[in-house]
Structure 1
């Protein structure tokens, strides 16, 4: 289950590159399904955007079935430092968009997408998906009292590391967790 979920998260994290390319190339749904003829172009683009949005929502739903975990200590908070990570990944994501805008052919896009997908999956350090921001999630690096840095996806605003607890963490991999507590 965890392997399939990580594949799903990787696809969600990289799928916007496909949306940007389809919009750039003016690929309309009417070319695929005549049912959509005579609709404005933005309807096609909105539907393209909604697909990764719905898949991201599903990943959030399925995350509750992952293994439970904790980074707690028995007598005190095991968290030494909290660092917001939202802005750290935006340059990388903007790079994906620029690649999608500059790729001239669909075959090239598929090749580039597969490479990005494989590297994102194999890195296994985190699964930054900017669409989580739409659902109210934030991204943080948490440093534990044993100097292990983990990536936390949560709806909570984290400021003070000394009174933090995560009783409902779900493990995505050894260094990435999603907080189920709202």
Structure 2
């Protein structure tokens, strides 16, 4: 566990400046690395401890802007659902890792490491972090919610998602 805390702490320090409160955006130029945030709500969730279905890539043909970032969608229907209620579909904590927020900082959320809880989309950074998150999802959400007001104004993470293959995401 100590090695995890040391690595996680280093990752938190590695984040660099961006405008406060912005959505996490990776090199793709899109929020959620260009994956369709609405599509998660149509996927069947795996039980805790099992890998979730893969995220659905968005398309540069179907985009919308929210929270200072472009979001990409697989189709016009999903884009229109998002535009009707973007806060319902956008990942929590501006797309940052939910466990990272529970621990007090901002690191990127990986679009393939997701869970919907109480109608909200949560992302995590690595499969190892998912295991810590899933040890106490409700407790980690409570910690993240308590931490978020103090963290949210800090700059968005510009750190790359570890071992993330962005080739399926749309290019800006």
**TM-score if structure 2 supplies the norm length?**
0.27
Task: Give the helix-richer structure, 1 or 2.
Answer: 1
**TM-score if structure 1 supplies the norm length?**
0.26
